Structure 1
Amino acid sequence: MNRTKATEDAQAEAPASWGLVECALPGGLLTAVITWELTRPAADRDDLLSRIVNCVVFLLVVAYLLIRVRRRAARELREVKAVARAAQEVLIRTLPPRLDGLALSARQLSASRGADVGGDLYEVVATAYGVRVVIGDVRGHGLPAIGAVAAVLGSFREAAHDEAGLDGVLRRLDRAHQRHLRELARQEPPAAGGQEPDSLSGEEFVTVLLLEIGADAEVRALNCGHPWPYRLGRGAARLASGEPLPPLGAFPLPADLLPYQCGPLRPGEALFLHTDGAEDARDSAGRFFALEEALAQAAAGPPLSPAAVVRQVHAALLRHTGGRITDDMALLVLRNDRPPVGDSSRVPAQPGGPGLCCTWVSAREPTTHAPGPG
């Protein structure tokens, strides 16, 4: 037998209502008993003593009942948190420490108290076209943004394996986000005059950065309004400085999507990906967090450890803000642990966009080959 939403809502509200009754009834009885015992005329000293004893007994009984109610509420809260934590882990999966020759580490901070997942998203998958990475930031944070996060991540996990180029992956993400917006529009009440609400007005958008690290360690990227990552090696520097595309949902994607050719990720180098909450974090005086400086310090001592970089930047962020996080943040580090590819095992660049490709001949000197005509 199917349960209606009204039945589920009534059952969900019943424990809370019964809890109020359990608290109010003993409290009201205790108040009445104490008022009666202390205000009625006293016959003798022993009678006054018995009244005090009666008040203490009633007080202990009420305290016991209130403790039972509190313990039950705490148990239900633990169960709800366990279910929420399991759902969050399904949505933002824990990344493996190593994937296809890359060392990984990630951490997410939610601005919503009690939540591990907010409006930020990330995922790393190994595909036939190379390791593909997505990181994004949904407008807003907390529970209202989780629907968009689920739509984008679900689409990426399929498209990353199905699409030969990053442009195809990005178009799939855009279509998934548009479907999510249309579903939101259908859930909104009709506007004045009976018109359908317009949730596709550009107010709901998501910034997305797509990366592809091919078998030749060449990095390709498509950026829709997201902060560019940093390359960590001898210091910290932006991976690219090109003008990004508009965020998904703000404007239609252009007809031609050409990925940026960001050069090779050399052995031992790492990429630091983040959402804008890290750069926009402020202290009590309104000063922005110096992310590049913190990255340079975290990457100063070899060997460069992704887990150590994430841990140090996270600690520096908390020190800078005094623990007051006002926006969701996602931090992700990928280090290239692949051995250099020699002439005998040269691997062609994977599809993902035109441009230069870099093939390692030795551990010391890379040779760059321009693509042939056509």
Structure 2
Amino acid sequence: MIRIKAGVPHRRRPRTSSRRSRCALTLGLPTVWGAVAISYKFGCPLAEQNGLGARIVTSAVFFAVGTGLILHVRRALLRELRQARKVAGAAQSVLLRPLPPRLAGLNVAAAQLSADRGAAIGGDLYEAVATEHGVRVVMGDVRGHGLAAIGTVAAVLGSFREAAHDEPELGHVLGRLDRALARHLRERARAEHPASGLDPDNPVAEEFVTVLLLEITGDGELRAINCGHPWPYLLSEQRVTPVSRAEPLPPLGPFPLPTDLATTDCGYLRPDDSLVLYTDGAEDARDTKGRFFSLPQALTEAVRDRPVSPQAILRTVFTALLHHTNGRPTDDIALLVLNNGRAQQRTCSGARGGDISGSAARARATTTHPQPTTHG
């Protein structure tokens, strides 16, 4: 303990001195350039002459001083921009963390396309976790953009990551999400009180979140609760169909949840079938003539050649989306693809002389190394 405490200040000194050095350079270089210009103007006899040669020299000196100042400011701004992007990337990896490529026998891929150029995080959210109740997935869309939307995304995702493991019923998971969102909105309402002097872009009274909760059991049965979100598409034998056409519940936020939260049976995710969850920005994307993007048509094109990987589906859909919008989508777009690869897993395990089932199968499926998802 003594060595650890003694070593901490010693490691921090270089960081402190480094910050002081950068601060000195930031303030010192413009001062030096300004001193050079003033010294030349008032101390050099050539600057007092009115001849053509003297004027050329004076203009060259001040041009060099101005160029040096501009370059110095540019380097400082680029340094701050790189630091901001590094912080945004770290925040994105924590908030909208990359999904593992395989989850309890399911092949997984997800991607996000932001409408704001250079934005790392938008108002879309998704997560998939393997639990003792099955693989549970959330896909949602927060109204609006900016820091307020990011705070709402953090509140909903944080609640889901805990409730998905704790709650045996999918309706109880949704109840936890609703309570977490209500707490978050109450805290925002206090922060946005007129006495605070803030002018929020997205008032709390107008805030809502569309949420789709999905549960995939060990035998591929699909159960869902939908609060104002588009239904996923099921890709089976080159057929693209919605998993359900039932009327969804209202989005979270404006209205209280009903007391009886029954799940919707959505059939089965059979071996080699794929499930595509998405936010409404995909189907609301328009071209220059105002025509909407046809997501079912793009998915049909994606599954024309089999077998199809989730990564190939994402590439096909996002390529078609960017072509349709001429590279300028007007809304955030998120896609999450789940492919049932459990048949291949059973085949491989049988060839090795054993079968994997129950908790052993889940343990083996979740020990693969995660790879970063492709964002926008």
TM-score by length of 1: 0.77
The answer on 1:114 being equivalent to 2:137 is no
1:185, distance to aligned residue in structure 2 (A):
1.0
**Alignment deviations for residues 23-64 of structure 1 (CA, whole Å, 9 cap, x no partner):** 9x859959x96xx9999774xxxx432331232133223312
Q: Which residue of 1 aligns with 2:16?
A: none
Which residue among 222, 244, 256 is the counterpart of 1:219? 222
The answer on 1:292 being equivalent to 2:301 is no
Q: Which residue of 2 aligns with 1:10?
A: none
**Unaligned residue ranges in structure 1 (runs of 5+):** 1-14, 192-198, 349-374
| Distance across 2 between alignment mates of 1:28 and 1:133 | 63
Q: Which residue of 1 aligns with 2:131?
A: 127
Q: Which residue of 2 aligns with 1:357?
A: none
Equivalent residue of 2:336, what SS? strand
Q: Which residue of 2 aligns with 1:321?
A: 325
The alpha-carbon distance between structure 1 residues 28 and 271, as it changes in their structure 2 partners (threshold 3 A), is farther
Q: Which residue of 2 aligns with 1:73?
A: 77
Q: Which residue of 2 aligns with 1:236?
A: 240
1:112, distance to aligned residue in structure 2 (A):
2.2
Equivalent residue of 1:339, what SS? helix
**Alignment deviations for residues 163-203 of structure 1 (CA, whole Å, 9 cap, x no partner):** 00100100000000000110111112248xxxxxxx764x2
Which residue among 241, 259, 263 is the counterpart of 1:259? 263
8 Å CA contact 1:112, 1:142 repeated in 2: no
Equivalent residue of 1:324, what SS? coil
Structure-to-structure mapping, 1:1-374, within 5 angstroms: 22=30, 26=34, 42=50, 47-190=51-194, 201=205, 203-233=206-236, 234-339=238-343
1:69, distance to aligned residue in structure 2 (A):
1.9
Equivalent residue of 2:153, what SS? helix
Equivalent residue of 1:263, what SS? strand
| Distance across 1 between alignment mates of 2:46 and 2:333 | 58
| Distance across 2 between alignment mates of 1:26 and 1:346 | 74
| Distance across 1 between alignment mates of 2:78 and 2:52 | 39
**Unaligned residue ranges in structure 2 (runs of 5+):** 1-22, 196-202, 348-354, 359-376
8 Å CA contact 1:208, 1:225 repeated in 2: yes
The alpha-carbon distance between structure 1 residues 266 and 190, as it changes in their structure 2 partners (threshold 3 A), is same
TM-score by length of 2: 0.77
**Alignment deviations for residues 326-359 of structure 1 (CA, whole Å, 9 cap, x no partner):** 11110110000012989xx9999xxxxxxxxxxx
8 Å CA contact 2:37, 2:61 repeated in 1: no
8 Å CA contact 1:108, 1:330 repeated in 2: yes
Equivalent residue of 1:255, what SS? coil
Structure 1 vs Structure 2 CA RMSD? 3.0
| Distance across 2 between alignment mates of 1:120 and 1:80 | 21
1:303, distance to aligned residue in structure 2 (A):
0.6
| Distance across 2 between alignment mates of 1:235 and 1:119 | 30
1:258, distance to aligned residue in structure 2 (A):
0.9
| Distance across 2 between alignment mates of 1:185 and 1:155 | 20
| Distance across 1 between alignment mates of 2:108 and 2:298 | 19
| Distance across 2 between alignment mates of 1:200 and 1:68 | 42
| Distance across 1 between alignment mates of 2:62 and 2:250 | 67
8 Å CA contact 1:126, 1:132 repeated in 2: yes
The alpha-carbon distance between structure 1 residues 38 and 142, as it changes in their structure 2 partners (threshold 3 A), is farther
| Distance across 1 between alignment mates of 2:223 and 2:278 | 17
Segment of structure 1 superposing worse, 122-131 or 248-257: 248-257
Equivalent residue of 2:186, what SS? helix
Equivalent residue of 1:161, what SS? helix
More helix by share: 2
Query: Which contiguous aligned blocks of 4+ residues in structure 1 show a shift greater than 4 angstroms?
Result: 25-30, 36-41, 345-348
Equivalent residue of 2:305, what SS? coil
Structure having greater relative contact order (Cα 8 Å, sep ≥ 6): 2
Equivalent residue of 2:213, what SS? strand
